[in-house]
Amino acid sequence: MHRLTPVVQHYAWGSYDGLARVSGRPHPTAEPEAELWMGAHEGAPAGLTVDGASTTLDQVIAADPVGWLGASVAARFGARLPFLLKVLAPAKALSIQAHPDADEATSAPEGTYVDGWPKPESWLAIEPTEAFIGARPFGEFRSLAIDLGVERLVDLVESAAVAESPSHELLRLLLSANDARALVDEVLTACADRADDPTVEAVLRVARDFPGDIGLVVLLTMRRLALQPGDYVFLAAGVMHSLVSGLLVEVLANSDNVVRAGLTPKKIDVPELLRIVDVERAMVPEPGDDVDGWTTYDAETPYFRLRTRVLDDGAVAVPATDQPRILLCLNGSADVDGLALTSGESCFLAPGDEATITGDGTLYLASPGLP
């Protein structure tokens, strides 16, 4: 068992207080803090000390995959930890994005993706979190467009309505629209009279940071979710999503493959987005299952699984397994066989590691999704 030193990512959409507050550090911080990474991704691997020497998790795994991952995980994923654990603290909307499955990642033109891995994700809200996930039913958006009364938008919707997949065609038409800025301005002007609609109100807020961005209209075509603490959502490959605000734990496949659809100055690869996007699947909050005192969340993927547990007066035994795990403590403290974790701290459990845990914090245990 090894204490991890996580990496803070200072993306512009991050909060000046969320991660610092949950980690017990002074806030507001000098820079925005968007993500806390705990894992072995080569872009920001967690630090640790092994035999008195400072190193990183990706380096020790590369040197001894079976020892650090276990035989079954190393056989399936090679010398790569299959999951990445994060805490996210958005204060501004993230880009609208989608991620490929494994076949799409490997079949795309060279340079489209940074690796050949899929990138399914899952979110567990720690505090109230606002997000847009997946496409809303086409008929629902069609009614909104008619109510808004923007002729050009209605024309696009009616053109899309006769397609085999109206939602897919509407996305194509929006992302290829001529004079998109004028369309966005017209739609937002019409939205101002309908700010009592939660989706419209959220889009108007996001518009303050992304004026003229066609992604604002794309957001209107998506499902808005108001996640409450404890709400869990699995994000399958191809499902568009954007976080707006909140604080949440994320577990995902250990990849950085992404295609964007708006709310970003970065490249929007429209052909690739249209190739991989899934506009039919509705992702909604799912309850976890109580397994041996842990709440276990179904991730539908071999890359990761998440379990949570609130510590109380008793000791919690974490038995050894043949797979690697990362244990995060939030909102309190935990003693892990003498290793003291305060809120925001984590440790790595290698295959064969077992532990007895006491304290008053909430535990988040990430592992591969293999049997």
Q: What are phi and psi of 165, to 5 degrees?
A: -125, 95
Within 10 A of 267 (CB to CB), how many other CB atoms are there? 9
Asked if the model's pLDDT at residue 302 lies above 90, the reply is yes
The pLDDT, as a whole number, for residue 127 is 98
Cα–Cα dist 68/162, whole Å:
54
Q: What fold characterizes domain 289-367? A: Jelly Rolls (2.60.120)
Q: State yes or no: 41 annotated in a binding site.
A: no
Q: How many residues does the chain have?
A: 371
* CATH code for the part of the protein at 93-283: 2.60.120
What integer is the mean pLDDT of 209-237? 97
DSSP 3-state of 179: coil
Q: Is 136 a catalytic residue?
A: no
Nearest to 309 by CA among 347, 361, 354, 345: 361
The pLDDT, as a whole number, for residue 298 is 82
User: Residue type at 268?
Assistant: I
Which pTM does this prediction carry? 0.96
* 24: DSSP letter: T
Of the candidates 80, 223, 224, 260, the residue annotated as catalytic is: 260
What integer is the mean pLDDT of 325-350? 98
Please, what is the end-to-end C-alpha distance for the chain in angstroms?
A: 22
Q: State yes or no: 121 annotated in a binding site.
A: yes
Cα–Cα dist 297/215, whole Å:
31
Q: Are 301 and 369 spatial neighbours (Cβ–Cβ below 8 Å)?
A: yes
What integer is the mean pLDDT of 166-191? 97
What are the residues whose beta carbons fall under 8 Å from the beta carbon of 101, sequence distance 6 or more? 118, 237, 238, 276
- Write the burial class of residue 97 (CB in 10 Å: 0-12 exposed, 13-18 middle, 19+ buried): buried
Asked if the model's pLDDT at residue 299 lies above 90, the reply is no
What are the residues whose beta carbons fall under 8 Å from the beta carbon of 252, sequence distance 6 or more? 83, 84, 86, 119, 120, 121, 122, 303, 304
What integer is the mean pLDDT of 40-49? 98
Q: State yes or no: 10 annotated in a binding site.
A: no
Across the chain, what does the average pLDDT equal? 97
Q: State yes or no: 27 annotated in a binding site.
A: no
- Residue ranges of the chain assigned to CATH 2.60.120.10: 289-367
Asked if the model's pLDDT at residue 307 lies above 90, the reply is yes
The pLDDT, as a whole number, for residue 67 is 98
* 15: DSSP letter: B
Residue 313's pLDDT band (cuts 50, 70, 90): confident
Measured between alpha carbons, how far is residue 314 from residues 94, 118, 171, 334, 356 in Å? Answer: 40, 39, 52, 12, 10
Residue 217's pLDDT band (cuts 50, 70, 90): very high
Phi-psi region of 220 (alpha: psi -120 to 50; beta: other; left: phi over 0): alpha
pLDDT in tens, 336-347: 999 999 999 999
